A and B are shown apart, each in its own frame.
Chain A
């Protein structure tokens, strides 16, 4: 089963990368605000059971993929 983990900087955490991207977009003439840069982790999880796959990926997020002090995460499963 394919899993995608989206890791985002938490609200209130300064994201200088997002600010730099936003300035670059403004420079190109786009009217944007609130740009934030996070990470995507694509995984192949063994097994077909969605609930157990989700539970596994959640454990991965808590132990390694995201740090709760600065990041939030979201899990998408593709069956």
Chain B
């Protein structure tokens, strides 16, 4: 087969909302999208994992604080520790922060208001598995929809871990940060929703650049492992 489809899992937690959109978008971008239930302690054979947006466990206590202890999250942590590609979108980003896979944390928007609109994002790095199809400095239009998106960085955050910045900060995030990766570069979290921007009919297809980068990187890994 000249063109194998990489297998990309999307975890559904109780309260996830964007899991279906993520599955659909990955499928549209030529991946085999695999639903993963939060109760699964072992992941099926996958080339990448996406933690989708939503309100896992009702956002009780802190966003992502309870999802962090689910069985699938433990499996995702092991997958990431072994170098696997993990993308967290919105609530998925919050879960990755609570789980310690990404630095920092996301708090209530400075405005105390839920924001739901397209934002302009600057790509700060194009050398990650999630942005390979973008160029550095490129502006992307991708929607946000969150009440708790204000990024708080740890004092020792390496600026090189910032992958996306807002042009007009919608939530009071420190240093306009919209997305960060871990030191190794195999885990990325961002508040905007690339899975909601993969078709021009929906206002922008810029999110497809991010997800297609992930699909391509996952495919490269699948081929390298074969």
Contacts and interface: CB of A to CB of B under 8 A. Distances in A.
Contacts of A69: 104-105, 152, 154
B76 to A, nearest CB: 18
Contacts of B105: 67, 69-70
A41 to B, nearest CB: 9
Given A64-B65, A65-B61, A67-B98, A17 B152 contact: no
Q: B interface, by DSSP: helix, strand, loop or mixed?
A: loop
B62 interface: yes
Given A67-B98, A70-B152, A17 B108 contact: yes
Interface residues of B, number: 18
Given A64-B65, A69-B152, A16 B104 contact: no
Interface in B127-177: 150, 152, 154, 172
Contacts of B111: 16
Contacts of A64: 61, 65-66, 69
Contacts of B98: 67
Interface centre among A13, A69, A70 (most CB of B within 10 A): A69
Interface in B74-111: 98, 104-105, 107-111
B116 to A, nearest CB: 18
A69 B108 CA distance: 15
Interface string A43-79: 0000000000000000000001101011000000000
A1 interface: no
A16 B61 contact: no
Contacts of B172: 14, 16
22 contacts: A13-B107, A14-B107, A14-B110, A14-B172, A16-B108, A16-B109, A16-B111, A16-B112, A16-B172, A17-B108, A17-B112, A39-B61, A64-B66, A64-B69, A67-B62, A67-B98, A67-B105, A69-B104, A69-B154, A70-B105, A70-B107, A70-B152
Interface of B: 61-62, 65-66, 69, 98, 104-105, 107-112, 150, 152, 154, 172
